[in-house]
A and B are shown apart, each in its own frame.
Chain A
């Protein structure tokens, strides 16, 4: 290979790339100009339909391509065989609810949806209330919020060391094992193999990452409670827990529910922690992890799609509730 060769390589790669970028930007601008010009020319009866089509049309087309069509395709795949060809009825769903491995997966998923969001939001609320009254509030908040900056995969790698196992006679490097040994336990178990404890240990990682977020959002909501209400309550003699229960909690309820349901949707999709820590082995698998494995590792698109549909059905009521409570809040304001 000579210099000219290397040069021409760069030219042949960069020039078309930049050319394409500039061309597509120019094309986009041109289309916009024409569209708006057409919209501005429309008069009378045609005005409204033209404007509506021009403004909503592109969004609808994109949503259809990116969301609606793949969604319908997934539903179609979920009643077909592993190769997406023959129709098999509800067999895939039957498998999802009867296979012993899948039952464990579904149970774990339910445990995750119920426990992880409640704990992370609950602890977040507790911290928000506590932090609200201490001196170096910003510092404490920053420290608790920090894990949020780590991805779930990164956090899992960190926690792998916490849960690391070493047999008797080998140097102990697992933090959890060391702590337990300090309390007198001689042979700490291999944490990731201990069922059903391992699923809960995985939830701890989620809570560690997520609780800071809940705390920050709830703390902001607590601070938004008008001072005069608090003062009035104090004058009436309410203090401590009673103040929290009768004033703070009702005032931040909306925010609390939004944080909680968002966390629920997130846990339903949860995938990274399980995948990194155990790969779904040792009875820790969850729905999203199994969906990925079935579709992209074992190439069984029927099973994968069925799990996706179950996931979708599971998420729907939470999203519906979220949207409804958001709407309600808007009308109140």
Chain B
């Protein structure tokens, strides 16, 4: 066959460089920790996920030894269309063995199809031992547990510059009141304390929805939060309007924002990526943004408790909920009840797998599994985030706008927040009320 040979020659040339270093890396493997999963020679487990290369390479490397010792082959299939494809495949009878589902809502949908399989005993045991009750609740449907989380991230952080805090003799606040006092202190220095940006192309407005969520969780706790996300507590309710009022006193205070950029309205035109770039330069003191914001700072910026930038926990407001954490994560859900699928699912929920994964991370990857030693993470920020995520005293909640109907969560909530920040008189009660009512009006009735 002629074409075969031609392909082989080109491929050989192209792959020589890639293939060589991989082959030299295989060394002796200690199979003792994998004995409990038994012999699965010749079996194949197919994982479907939205996690693509190069990130997926680290996930695959972390189970390479497991594959070698048990003899199982794990097929990792990453897709950009994961969320739409998964439903199609499950409905069409070609469900993957395991799916890594990034949203609790989608997980519940999959359970409703009746094709998802409740997690095996091994996963349940791991979940009870290593994850907090809040985390377990997110993948429990009708009393049955469907899968442990894989990675987890955290949004409840405030980025600041330890260097400049030291220079101006400022201390990291422990409570909301302290944080407001600190802001006033910075105002007295003749500077604006906060920078912010909600620009994000198609999704402009989402950072503001995060602020609303953080404040709702802090002021009224998980019950009101859940009822708000479910549409039972309206935006125009006294509680949520009060949340908006608090937000307007914080990030719409002309004395507080927008450090290094301009006025309050400029928050609407500043991209969230650009918002905090003034922090290492001392042009802005604080930025509320998720753990992943660390990647925005230029190369060479030292992210450490005594470095150029670091983050502190966005303080609590009500003592009833001392550690309110907002974040996200994804869950491994099974669609086939077979020994090899159960073994892979159990292994991927074990501290061993997740520690392997954490060790190889270049920073920015965390899990809420408390069995992963904090020392496994490469950066001080990851260590801090992991500690909060696995803290049993924390009140953990998923990003609420993601769980609202798309017409609100990816529509009016974004656009109305943007209109609020870019409009006149944002702090006025009448403005707040009209914004809240405009969002309520778009909540789907059916």
Residues of A within 8 A of B (CB): 1-3, 6-7, 10-11, 14-15, 18, 22, 81-82, 101, 165-168, 170, 190, 192-193, 275-276, 278-282, 293, 297-300
Residue in B11, B18, B200, B262 whose CB lies within 8 Å of A165: B262
B269 at interface, CB cutoff 8 A: yes
Inter-subunit contact B23/A2 (CB<8 Å): yes
Encode contact with A along B251-271: 1 for CB under 8 Å, 0 otherwise.
Answer: 000000010111101101100
Mark out the residues of chain B between 401 and 436 whose CB falls within 8 Å of any chain A CB in the assembled complex.
406-407, 410-411, 415, 418-419, 422
Choose one: A10, A279, A282, A300; the contact of B407 (CB below 8 Å).
A300
In the complex, what residue of chain B is closest to A1 when comparing beta carbons? B22
Instruction: Judge if B334 is at the interface, Cβ distance under 8 Å.
Output: no
Verify if B32 is at the interface (C-beta below 8 Å from A): no
B444 A82 Cβ-Cβ under 8 A: yes
Minimum Cβ distance to chain B for residue A304 (Å): 11
6 smallest beta-carbon distances between A and B, as pairs: A167-B262, A3-B23, A298-B411, A279-B204, A299-B406, A298-B407
What are 16 A-B contacts defined by CB distance under 8 Å? Answer: A1-B26, A2-B26, A3-B20, A6-B23, A7-B15, A7-B19, A82-B407, A165-B269, A190-B263, A190-B265, A279-B201, A279-B202, A280-B415, A281-B268, A281-B418, A298-B411
> How far is the CB of B83 from the nearest CB of chain A, in Å?
11
Q: Known contacts A2-B22, A2-B26, A190-B269: does B422 contact A281 (CB below 8 Å)? A: yes
A6, A15, A190, A280: the one contacting B266 at CB < 8 Å is A190
Interface flags for B22-35 (1: CB within 8 Å of A; 0: not) read 11001000000000
Residues of chain B within 8 A of A281, CB atoms compared: 204-205, 268, 415, 418-419, 422
A11, A81, A170, most chain B CB atoms within 10 A: A170
Q: Are B406 and A298 in contact (CB under 8 A)?
A: yes
B408 to chain A, nearest CB (A): 8
- For the complex formed, measure the closest distance between the CB of B365 and the CB atoms of chain A, giving whole angstroms: 21
B4: which of A3, A15, A276 is its contact (CB, 8 Å)?
A15
Interface assignment of B189: CB less than 8 Å from any CB of chain A: no
CA distance A10 to B22 in the complex (A): 14
A193-B202 in contact (CB<8A): no
Residues of B participating in the A interface, judged by any CB pair closer than 8 Å: 3-4, 7, 11, 15, 18-20, 22-23, 26, 64, 199-205, 258, 260-263, 265-266, 268-269, 406-407, 410-411, 415, 418-419, 422, 444, 446
**With A and B bound together, what is the CA distance between A156 and B11 in angstroms?**
40
Residues of chain B within 8 A of A278, CB atoms compared: 204
Q: Is the CB of A10 within 8 A of B269?
A: no
Contact A165 B407 (CB under 8 A): no
Say how far B61's CB is from chain A's closest CB, in angstroms: 8
Cα A278 to Cα B202 in complex, Å, equals 8
Query: Of all chain A residues, which has the CB nearest B409?
Result: A298
* Complex-state Cα separation, A166 to B263, whole angstroms: 9
For A100, the closest partner residue in chain B by CB is: B438
Given contacts A170-B260, A298-B411, contact A193 B422 (CB under 8 A): yes
Central interface residue in A1, A22, A166, A168, by most chain B CB within 10 Å: A1
Measured CA separation A19–B416 after assembly (Å): 53
CA separation between A203 and B20, bound complex, in Å?
54
Q: List residues of chain A with CB within 8 A of the CB of B204.
A: 278-279, 281
Q: Given A1-B22, A193-B268: A275 and B418 within 8 A (CB)?
A: no
By the criterion CB–CB under 8 Å, are B269 and A1 in contact? no
Select which of A1, A14, A170, A276 is within 8 A of B262 by beta carbon.
A170
B22 engages A165 (CB within 8 Å)? no
Contacts of A6 in B (CB 8 A): 15, 18-19, 22-23
Which residues of the partner chain B approach A280 to less than 8 Å between Cβ atoms? 415
Q: How far is the CA of A18 from the CA of B3 in the complex (A)?
A: 8
In the complex, which residue of chain A has the Cβ closest to the Cβ of B407? Answer: A298
- Indicate which residue in A7, A192, A275, A297 contacts B406 across the interface (CB closer than 8 Å): A297
Q: Is the beta-carbon distance between A293 and B411 smaller than 8 angstroms?
A: yes
Q: A22 vs B18: C-alpha distance in the bound complex, in angstroms?
A: 28
The residue of chain A having its C-beta at the shortest distance from the C-beta of B10 within the complex is A14
Contact A165 B201 (CB under 8 A): no
Question: In the complex, what distance in Å separates the CA atom of A279 from the CA atom of B205?
Answer: 10
Q: Which residues of A contact B203 (CB under 8 A)?
A: 279
Query: Which residues of B have CB within 8 Å of A190?
Result: 262-263, 265-266, 269
Contacts of B23 in A (CB 8 A): 2-3, 6
Q: How far is the CB of B33 from chain A (nearest CB, A)?
A: 20
Q: How far is the CB of B386 from chain A (nearest CB, A)?
A: 28
Nearest residue (CB) in B for A292 is B202
Specify which chain A residues have a CB less than 8 angstroms from the CB of B202 in the assembled complex: 275, 279, 293, 297
**Least Cβ distance of A289 to chain B in Å?**
10
Give Cα A297 to B18, complex, Å: 39
Q: How far is the CB of A319 from chain B (nearest CB, A)?
A: 29
Which residue of chain B lies nearest to A83 when distances are taken between CB atoms in the complex?
B446
Chain A nearest CB from B356 CB (Å) reads: 15
| Residues from chain A with Cβ under 8 Å of B269 in the complex | 165, 190, 192-193
Q: Is the CB of B411 within 8 A of A297?
A: yes
CB distance from B401 to the nearest CB of A (A): 12
Q: Bound state CA distance, A29 and B269, in angstroms?
A: 55
Select the residue from A81, A167, A282, A298 with max chain B CB neighbours within 10 A.
A298
The distance in angstroms between the C-alpha atoms of A71 and B115, with both chains bound, is: 34
* Chain B hits for A193, CB < 8 A: 265, 268-269, 422
Contacts of A15 in B (CB 8 A): 4, 7
Could you tell me the distance between the alpha carbons of A165 and B271 in the complex, rounded to whole angstroms? 12
> Quick check: B11 and A14 within 8 Å, CB to CB?
yes
* Beta-carbon contact of A10 and B406 below 8 Å: no
Residue pair B64, A1 in contact (C-beta under 8 Å): yes
Q: Across the two chains, which residue of chain A brings its CB closest to B3? A: A18
Chain A residues within 8 Å of B199, by CB: 279
Complex interface: chain B residues within 8 A of A282 (CB): 268, 418, 422
A317–B261 Cα distance when bound, in Å, is 47
**For the complex, what is the distance from the CA of A193 to the CA of B270, rounded to whole Å?**
11
Q: Which B residues touch A82, using CB under 8 A?
A: 407, 444
Closest partner residue, chain A, to B7 (CB atom): A14
Question: B residues within 8 A CB of A192?
Answer: 269
| Pair A166/B22 contact, Cβ less than 8 Å | no
CB within 8 Å for A167 and B15 given contacts A275-B202, A281-B268: no
CA distance in complex: A295, B269 (Å)? 25
State the CA gap A299–B260 with chains docked (Å).
37
Instruction: Kindly list chain B residues whose C-beta atoms are within 8 Å of the C-beta of A18.
Output: 3, 7
In contact, B266 and A167 (Cβ under 8 angstroms):
yes
> Which residues on B sit within 8 Å (CB–CB) of A81?
446
Chain A residues within 8 Å of B422, by CB:
193, 281-282
- C-alpha spacing A6/B268, complex, angstroms: 48
Q: Beyond the given A2-B26, A6-B15, please list 13 additional residue pairs across the A-B interface where CB-CB is below 8 A.
A: A1-B22, A6-B19, A6-B22, A15-B7, A165-B269, A190-B262, A190-B263, A192-B269, A275-B202, A276-B201, A281-B268, A282-B422, A298-B407
